[in-house]
Structure 1
Amino acid sequence: MATARRIRVTGRVQGVFFRAWTREQAKRLGVFGWVRNCADGSVEAHVEGEQAAVEEMIAAMKHGPGAARVDALDCEAVALTGAHNFEVTH
């Protein structure tokens, strides 16, 4: 069953290739959506796909790439958008 989540990650998550890493994880897991930096220093993402893959993506984002430090991850259920790829947006 498909599901979608809006995710906000705070900590040292900008300038550490978090968005590129997130796109790589999305491709590996077969999930779709987007990721972007926010003005407040956080990273926001929309992730949708099969529930198990979305949950695995969230678990991966709790740690991020090696140079990142994730202090908190907030997640909320949102509507599916029908995305068919995963983009880094600005």
Structure 2
Amino acid sequence: MYKRLHAVVFGKVQGVGYRAFIYDKALSLGLKGFVKNLPDGTVEIEAEGDEIYLFQLLDKAKKGTPLTNVTNVDFKIYDDLKGYTTFKIAY
């Protein structure tokens, strides 16, 4: 079933290629939505797609890359969709 993931990622996640990492993972999973740096140093992820793939993206988001240090991920899964047609890095 298609759902929507909204997540905010905390830690050392800006200036280390984290958005590009999430972008690549989301594309490989066929998800739609965006990843965006927020002014407070966190990263926002919003993705739509099959629930199983959303949780795979969430798992990757929690692990990060060798250059990141993810300390926490706040997330919710929603039933309503916003109808994204692509996945992008938002600014």
Partner of residue 34, structure 1: 34
Tell me the TM-score normalised to structure 2 length: 0.94
1:84 aligns with 2:85: yes
Q: Aligned to 1:14, what secondary structure does the other structure show? A: coil
CA offsets 1:41-82 (integer angstroms, 9 cap, x no match): 000010110010001000110011220000000001233111
Unaligned 5+ runs, structure 2: none
Tell me the TM-score normalised to structure 1 length: 0.95
1-structure distance, mates of 2:55, 2:47: 10
Q: Percent identity?
A: 31
Partner of residue 61, structure 1: 61
Q: Aligned to 2:35, what secondary structure does the other structure show? A: strand
2-structure distance, mates of 1:5, 1:62: 14
Q: Show structure 1 runs of 4+ deviating over 3 A.
A: none
Q: How does 1:33-52 map to 2 (within 5 A)?
A: 33-52=33-52
Q: How many residue pairs end up in the alignment?
A: 90
2-structure distance, mates of 1:31, 1:39: 25
Task: Supply the RMSD in Å over aligned alpha carbons.
Answer: 0.8
CA drift of 1:13 comes to 0.2
